[in-house]
């Protein structure tokens, strides 16, 4: 799974391009600072509300932000399934 395509890295990259930090993004976008930190750490997903706010602040359409998140979630799900399959082949019960 390519970490460069993660929502966190896309957000971080867009913030760097815009020259804004967490504090400024929070103020401009009206997204809570803790939520921005969770997004940057991959702890929270980008939902429609956040996608709209990011779109207004950083560009990209809300649909682009949601697609980035959806593709990441699909790739993560596949990665996790492969791990579970390997563990089961080794006789490890989950």
Q: What is the pLDDT of residue 3?
A: 64
How remote is the C-alpha of 58 from its chain's centroid? 14
pLDDT tens-digit series, residues 24-63:
999 999 999 999 999 999 999 999 999 999 999 998 999 9
- Average pLDDT on 11-18 reads 98
Architecture of the domain delimited by 3-89: Orthogonal Bundle (1.10)
Cα distance between residue 50 and residue 34, in whole Å:
13
Specify the DSSP class assigned to residue 3: G
């Amino acid at each position: 799974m390519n970490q460069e395509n993660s929502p966190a890295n896309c957000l971080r990259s867009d913030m760097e391009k815009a020259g804004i930090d967490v504090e400024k993004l929070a103020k401009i976008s009206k997204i809570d600072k803790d939520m921005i930190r969770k997004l940057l750490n991959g702890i929270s997903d980008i939902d429609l509300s956040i996608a709209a706010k990011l779109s207004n602040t950083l560009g990209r359409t809300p649909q682009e932000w949601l697609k980035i998140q959806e593709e990441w979630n699909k790739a993560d799900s596949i990665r996790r399934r492969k791990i579970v399959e390997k563990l089961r082949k080794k006789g490890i019960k989950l």
